[in-house]
Chain A
């Protein structure tokens, strides 16, 4: 039986030792293999905790009903290293995840840990760096790179070990708009080329709308899981839990205040543009 779900969470509860209540309460969701899932939610809703649970940096509260399964492996203390082989995480701060003293060293770090021979390492490092467009910087030191370039190196370091799942833990939140767009473009391309599963944790609406599915997290519970278009049309729900809404929806709300009714089905910028142009013709 082929495994179709890359990540399965079943009734997962998690409590940090220093906090009173649980951060995650009975979270259950599935991520299909080869899909892009975005996880959105306000600060402190437990998004980052989920990313750390996926590769065993944190272990869930012991509970007989709960289960985490990643790439067909059940998460337990024996399996942690096997799971980490299959999951790559790009973290938020580009500075704090750069281990090597040069770009080449950093990309090779994961390979060194796996005991890959040097000949093979040199080949892989060059190949993955060219995939993210950083081959010219192979001997550069992190202090001389921009944030976006550092994140590209981080992605290269993860690609080098050929994971099945890539988690973007707010990876673009410290980048400028162009750096962010570049990173997302690279990820999108690599996802298709290598059949990767992407779990992106984000505040960025544009990043979330690139996903196949969006999971909305609120106070440690899953509020909704649906396609981005459906999620973002639930304007009241998003606003109630303090999330931003896409530009199109904001414009629709403003137009509504001015007495112009826009059909609910219109959800992309192009559709709205066309509709507004036609509106003008009718008058």
Chain B
């Protein structure tokens, strides 16, 4: 249970935890783009080393990252195999009908494999070391420029923070409803597809009603505490750039620099 309550966030106090979530979010997104700059063995090696260093710096167990990769392992192998069999060119080692294993295919399959794994690893580093709340704050900051186009960023931020605040509460409520229905003989794990879909109704209907009631209560409480829209509000929660963000940015610039030098054109 407690695993789900805080999402996939795992508390720790290594270097990465001290970074500003905005910096982390930005560097993670840029890192993913940077991975696509790699196009030869040397650059792929560089990206891999940089990524693995980030993973090591988190100070977390390797199992955490394996858990991140595991759900997508099928996709990774499928894509790599497609590359392997259908990519032609270079020296052909083996051929059978439309299937062929060529030197190009082998290299490309390896590249795709590395690329996929690195993207998953680096986003796992981000989600595992940042609290969902901090990610929401970082997203608000990234969305801020949109307020020029009259996008209500403050309200969206409030919505995100309330949504995150209610994820564990609604999860608890769902479990309670499920147990209450089980105690009346409901069965959620048996039968075919249609029977199972039907079994969800006694969970969903009360959950919807509960959510709406909660929303009404919460809005009443917010109003009686003086909430009248985002205008004129100050913020209690602020984010601070620290020297660690400078380190991560330098690290990233270094990576891009090296990639551009060793890249083949």
Given the interface pairs A91-B220, A95-B214, A118-B234, the reply to whether A109 lies near B225 with Cβ below 8 Å is yes
Q: Is A84 an interface residue (CB 8 A)?
A: yes
Q: Which among B32-40, B78-86, B158-166, B249-257 touches the partner chain?
A: B158-166
Q: Which among B12-20, B42-50, B235-243 touches the partner chain?
A: B235-243
Chain B hits for A275, CB < 8 A: none
Min Cβ gap B31→A in Å is 27
Q: Is A193 an interface residue (CB 8 A)?
A: no
Given the interface pairs A105-B236, A115-B233, the reply to whether A99 lies near B221 with Cβ below 8 Å is yes
Given the interface pairs A112-B234, A121-B236, the reply to whether A84 lies near B224 with Cβ below 8 Å is yes
Q: By the criterion CB–CB under 8 Å, are A101 and B161 in contact?
A: yes
Contact mask A94-120 → B, CB, 8 Å, 1/0? 011111111011001111111111100
Q: Is B228 an interface residue (CB 8 A)?
A: yes
Task: Report which residue of B214, B223, B234 has the largest number of chain A beta carbons within 10 angstroms of its beta carbon.
Answer: B234
Bound state CA distance, A112 and B228, in angstroms? 11
Bound state CA distance, A110 and B221, in angstroms? 10
- In chain A, what residue has the closest Cβ to B5? A143
Among candidates A93, A98, A121, residue contacting B234 with C-beta atoms closer than 8 Å:
A121
Min Cβ gap A186→B in Å is 19
Q: By the criterion CB–CB under 8 Å, are B238 and A118 in contact?
A: yes
User: Which residues, 178 to 233 on A, are CB-close (under 8 Å) to B?
Assistant: none
Chain A hits for B120, CB < 8 A: none
Contact mask B146-189 → A, CB, 8 Å, 1/0? 00000000000000011011001100100000000000000000
Chain A hits for B217, CB < 8 A: 91, 93, 96-97
Q: By the criterion CB–CB under 8 Å, are A115 and B225 in contact?
A: no
Bound state CA distance, A209 and B6, in angstroms? 42
- The count of chain A contact residues (Cβ–Cβ below 8 Å) is 42
Q: By the criterion CB–CB under 8 Å, are B227 and A118 in contact?
A: no
Given the interface pairs A93-B217, A96-B218, A101-B165, the reply to whether A81 lies near B234 with Cβ below 8 Å is no
Q: Is B222 an interface residue (CB 8 A)?
A: yes
Q: By the criterion CB–CB under 8 Å, are A99 and B222 in contact?
A: yes
- The count of chain B contact residues (Cβ–Cβ below 8 Å) is 30
Q: Is A148 an interface residue (CB 8 A)?
A: no
Among candidates A84, A99, A143, residue contacting B218 with C-beta atoms closer than 8 Å:
A99
Min Cβ gap A135→B in Å is 16
Which label, helix, strand, loop or mixed, suits the secondary structure of the B interface?
helix
- In chain A, what residue has the closest Cβ to B160? A101
Given the interface pairs A97-B221, A112-B235, A115-B233, the reply to whether A102 lies near B133 with Cβ below 8 Å is yes
Min Cβ gap A201→B in Å is 14
Chain B hits for A112, CB < 8 A: 233-236
Bound state CA distance, A142 and B168, in angstroms? 9
Q: Is B192 an interface residue (CB 8 A)?
A: no
Given the interface pairs A105-B236, A143-B5, the reply to whether A95 lies near B169 with Cβ below 8 Å is yes
Bound state CA distance, A42 and B232, in angstroms? 42
Q: By the criterion CB–CB under 8 Å, are A143 and B225 in contact?
A: no
Min Cβ gap B163→A in Å is 10
Q: Is A49 an interface residue (CB 8 A)?
A: no
Min Cβ gap A272→B in Å is 41
Q: Is A89 an interface residue (CB 8 A)?
A: yes
Q: Is B226 an interface residue (CB 8 A)?
A: yes
Bound state CA distance, A55 and B218, in angstroms? 16
Given the interface pairs A101-B133, A112-B233, A115-B234, the reply to whether A91 lies near B221 with Cβ below 8 Å is yes
Q: By the criterion CB–CB under 8 Å, are A57 and B133 in contact?
A: no
Q: By the criterion CB–CB under 8 Å, are A142 and B221 in contact?
A: no
Q: Is A12 an interface residue (CB 8 A)?
A: no
Contact mask A120-159 → B, CB, 8 Å, 1/0? 0110010000000000000001111000000000000110
Chain B hits for A96, CB < 8 A: 213-214, 217-218, 221
Q: Which residues of B contact A (CB under 8 A)?
A: 5-6, 133, 161-162, 164-165, 168-169, 172, 213-214, 217-218, 220-228, 232-238
The 5 A-B residue pairs whose C-beta atoms are closest, nearest first, are A108-B236, A96-B217, A97-B221, A143-B168, A113-B226
